[in-house]
Amino acid sequence: MNGRRVLLGVTGGIAAYKAAALASRLVQAGAILDVVLTADALRFVGAATFAALARRPVHTSLWERVEEIPHITLAREAEVVAIVPATANTIAKLALGIADDLLTNVVLATRAPLVVAPAMNTAMLEHDATRAHIATLRARGAEIVEPEIGFLAEREHGAGRLAGEDALVAAIEHALLRTNELAGERVLITAGPTREPIDPVRFLSNASSGTQGIELAREALARGAEVDLVLGPTSLEPPAGARTARVTTAREMDDAVRERAANATIAIATAAVADWRPATTHAHKVKKTDEPQSLALERNPDILANLGAQKNGLFLVGFAAETEALETSAREKLVRKQLDAIAVNDVGGERGFGAGPNALVLLWGVHGRKDLGAGSKRELAVRLWDAIVELKAERR
């Protein structure tokens, strides 16, 4: 943590006094600490306490030093934003994108990882709205430090007590580690479907939305990588920091990948590439008739196999969308295409394609296996990158 920029946001709950002890510990660990106190936090703790601990000005309003545009300055300087404690009100505003004070403006403007430590009465914590807002933040990649069960300010005993200091420090350290662990890596990701035209209005394709690849690109950027994203047809927007090449057909995707593969150190092929294309593409719409029709097909290039055959030090991860014998089929693909690892998921039901939840298992070597569990594709992107970083480090 030495020399790292940490922004500590303190909101208006009784646990705000504990944030002072956390601030002291972060400073002792070498962090450069900026503190933002909400108006309600100031009802519980004083700015002078945090200013003395951090030896830096404490920020309380959007309207202080307006010439510096404080919310943008703080947002860009922070390497991690930790909100301790986070009240139900602040959590709701973060989930909904409401920015009505300095802290919520900073969070909306920053690209730094977010650590959120809820603290509130049990009834508020367990309310459906609060649980939904926490789930939204977690799905976006925020690290939630779950509150403890213990004595509460209302003289009650239950869930909602602010997590312990060790857990808070560990979460901040983990978030900081993520910000630069891919520094120096050049990541190539393929995402989305391909479309193989039959005529100007019809094509062969599949249900892939590109969501998983886009979230993997977003997480790679958050960890400090340079990212090339080769993206098939989708209505989703790629992350702003990625160098995105939009393609339509498998051959276009193959060309774009070949152009970028030589400079890549890690490649993840999430794209659902069409295996076949029509042998003939009609210049005009084919009219409907009562006569039986047939469609001649020819093979598309195997983009992943081509990458595997010419890896030259590239760490190559494939995806296998299967409907039966999931791991058996994925391991065969792992060997045949000379991959370093493969993520397999079941697309036989409603899960897998689209923007909804997914579940992945990562396989490598002869027996290597890690169940990444189920979750949103944002959550799975975090878990998959954690596993890839660990696996790649073991190969060194």
pLDDT tens digits for range 337-352: 999 999 998 876 655 5
pLDDT at 139: 77
Residue 359 has pLDDT above 70, yes or no: yes
pLDDT at 290: 86
pLDDT at 51: 96
pLDDT in tens, 227-272: 999 999 999 989 888 999 999 999 999 999 999 999 999 999 999 9
Domain ranges of the chain: 5-180, 186-395
Strands 315-322 and 297-299: what pairing?
unpaired
- How far, in Å, are 8, 148, 240, 298, 327 from residue 31 at the CA level? 11, 26, 28, 59, 44
Dist. CA 107–CA 111, nearest whole Å: 8
Of the candidates 2, 206, 345, 358, the residue annotated as catalytic is 206
5-180 and 186-395 agree in CATH topology: yes
Residues, the chain, total? 396
Strands 226-231 and 186-191: what pairing?
parallel
Sign of CA dihedral 56, 178, 310, 204: negative
The pair of three-digit structure tokens given for residue 267, joined into one six-digit string? 């490649």
For domain 186-395, give the CATH number: 3.40.50.10300
The mean-pLDDT minimum among 27-41, 110-124, 172-186 falls in 172-186
Answer for the pair 224, 179: CB distance below 8 angstroms, yes or no.
Answer: yes
180 is annotated as an active-site residue: no
Dist. CA 85–CA 45, nearest whole Å: 12
pLDDT in tens, 360-384: 999 999 899 999 999 888 889 989 9
pTM higher than the cut 0.85: no
At the top level of CATH, the class of 5-180 is alpha beta
